Amino acid sequence: MFDKDHKLLSLPELKSYIEGNHHLPDMPTAGDVAISGLDLGEINKVLVKTVEKLTLHLIEKNEELKILKLHVERVSLDHQRQIDELKKMILVRSENQSKIGKL
């Protein structure tokens, strides 16, 4: 499962599969289980594979979250810089108007 060549379903693809099939990929359907029962050895393999896939999704989402946090920090710093510049401009304008009013 942790093979670099393995194609992991994207979360939207997984959601679509679940909505269409009402179960996770590789998992038996409720109907199949009701008819055939469960092979515990086989279901354990499927569960381990599913945990591995979920782990890969978590790692991917964590990387995306790190990137988003960095972006938010950069944008916040830029906005704060712009606010500081505007405050300076307002202060200078206010000072200039005060000087003009005294003339």
What does the pLDDT profile of the chain (103 residues) look like in tens digits?
Answer: 567 777 899 999 999 999 999 999 999 999 999 999 999 999 999 999 999 999 999 999 999 999 999 999 999 999 999 999 999 999 999 988 888 877 6
The DSSP letter of residue 26 is T
Q: Which pLDDT score, from 0 to 100, does residue 99 have?
A: 82
Element (DSSP H or E) covering residue 78: helix 40-102
**What three-state secondary structure class fits 23?**
coil
Smallest CA-to-CA distance from 25 within 14, 41, 40 is with 14
Which pLDDT score is estimated for 7? 85
pLDDT for 2: 66
d(CA 25, CA 18): 8
Q: Which two tokens stand for residue 68?
A: 């988003």
Determine the pLDDT at residue 1: 59
CA 71 to chain centroid, in Å, comes to 13
Structure tokens at 56: 């890969």
pLDDT for 97 equals 86
Q: What is the pLDDT of residue 98?
A: 83
